[in-house]
Amino acid sequence: MKIRPQLIHCCYNNCIVFTGLYSDAAMCPFCEEKRWIEGTNKACKSFVHISLINRLQIQYQNPACSRVLVSYCQSLSQSWQELQGELRDVFDGELFRKFHVDELGLFKDPHDVALHMSLDGVQIMNM
């Protein structure tokens, strides 16, 4: 499987992305910045998006990566009782064990995936 990056236009000031309701917009409805570089069909600002589904499919198609994804969390959880307060990973933490595993019942299947989202430099909303 190949990586399929997608170029997505966004407002120069990061107010919106030009998708969905704004897919045909020529300017940002909030700050009124133009979408296009004048006289061209090039966006003033864009970013590359690679879908999460595409990324996970690529990981699971590689036998070595797939084994790690399926066994990593399970291998840690098998030795929780032996840790005596030592933390090797987020999966060793008390919050993870008591809330995510015991209370919510998550991560009981070895195919469950934990995702972390880092938003460094991304503006979620403009108020």
| All residues at 6 or more sequence positions from 10 whose CB lies less than 8 Å from its CB, including other chains | 16, 17, 18, 43, 45, 46, 47
pLDDT value of residue 88:
73
Residue ranges per structural domain of the chain: 1-50, 68-103
Contact 56/1 with Cβ under 8 angstroms? Answer: no
- pTM beyond 0.85: the answer is no
Distance CA 127, CA 83 (A): 45
Chain segment 14-58, per-residue pLDDT in tens: 999 999 999 999 999 999 999 999 999 999 999 999 898 888 899
